[in-house]
Amino acid sequence: MTYVYFPGCSLTSTGRGYHESLQEVCRALEVPIQELEDWNCCGATSYMAVDESKAFALSARNLALAERLGNGSTQMMVPCAACYLGLNKAQHYLQEFPAIRGKVDKALAAAGLAYSGRVQIRHPLDIFIKDIGRDKIAARVAKPLAGLKVACYYGCQLVRPYAEFDDQHNPTTMETIMTVLGAEVIDWPLKTRCCGGSLTGTIEDVGLRLSYIILTEAQKRGADLVATACPLCQFNLECYQGKMNGRFGLNGKVPVAYFTQLMGLAFGLSNKSLGLNRLFVPLPERRAVAAGGGAHVRG
């Protein structure tokens, strides 16, 4: 079965490393993906704040295009947490509120589109663990991430309020994958705390505080790096570290990578193909060398 891939705006710009590594990992795991043709923006959090019904219309167009592509049994792969939430929210509201459904159906018809409601919106974490399975991931590991301590960070919108693939309060999918890759995961309480979202761009001081709290806690608990599954979380946590050093005394730098980049590393794929050259803070050199592995994390 081919998954319809919805990258979203961030993965074409600040989140390009996610886009690249996700595609590489799918290729390595033989997960067929096809990019949704002419997809539009999901609306993110800003659209809801201006016009709710148009926000639903935006998502409805994407869902209608995906449904047309998948012949009624579409599985949509959505890596960005904000897109994942936006599409899921539209899906839920279309189901729950007939008035919204009626309005959106009429608007879709005016644009020559239709949506019956059968697309399944899924995050790659969900697909990797449920459809592919840990055994297949384990079989692909060529250079285990032994000795690397990872803080798995999910952020907010990936698990709240709609994720069904994992626990809202204590999700563990990323930890399972990291363990399969040979890494060590740290136990910490902030894995679903908000990174500040778009506040870093608007009310910067507050946004930076939120990101700083997450990074400093991961550091205190001995993490070598933070693994993320959302382009906005990755951007906030990584790209503003210089400012956090000055303002709050963040101690040094904390690498922040996409979980797909770490999967690719363990699979032995090249740094460049995984977009690791795009990171502001390079990943740590491997300290302990795994038996039989012998390669550096930076490969």
Partner 1 sequence: MEKWQGWDKIQYEAGLDPHFGTKIASIPGGDKLLACIQCGTCSGVCPLSPYMDYTPRQIVAMIRAGFKAEVLSSYTTWLCASCYSCTVECPKEIKITDVMYAVKRMAIQEGVYPKRFPTPVLASEFFHSVEKTGRSTESWLLVRMYLKTNPFKMLKQAMLGFNLWRRGRMGVGVESIKRKDELHRLFTAMENETRAERRAGQEVRP
Q: Which residues bind to partner 1, rule: CB under 8 A?
A: 9-10, 12-17, 38-41, 43-54, 57-58, 60-61, 93, 96-97, 99-100, 103-104, 106-113, 156-157, 160-161, 168, 193-194, 196-199, 201-203, 206, 209-210, 239-240, 277-280
Q: Which residues lie below 8 Å from residue 55, measured CB to CB, with a gap of 6+?
A: 43, 47, 48, 86, 90
**128 or 241, CB closer to partner 1?**
241
**169 or 296, CB closer to partner 1?**
169
**2 or 52, CB closer to partner 1?**
52
Q: How many residues does the chain have?
A: 299
Q: Which residues lie below 8 Å from residue 104, measured CB to CB, with a gap of 6+?
A: 53, 56, 57, 60, 94, 115
What is the four-CA torsion angle of 78, 83, 88, 90, rounded to 10 degrees?
Answer: -140
**15 or 124, CB closer to partner 1?**
15
Minimum CB–partner distance for residue 196 and partner 1 (Å): 6
Minimum CB–partner distance for residue 238 and partner 1 (Å): 10
**128 or 217, CB closer to partner 1?**
217
Minimum CB–partner distance for residue 218 and partner 1 (Å): 16
Q: Which residues lie below 8 Å from residue 292, measured CB to CB, with a gap of 6+?
A: none
Minimum CB–partner distance for residue 101 and partner 1 (Å): 11
Minimum CB–partner distance for residue 135 and partner 1 (Å): 32
Ranges of beta strands (E only) in 120-233 are: 120-122, 149-152, 184-185, 225-228
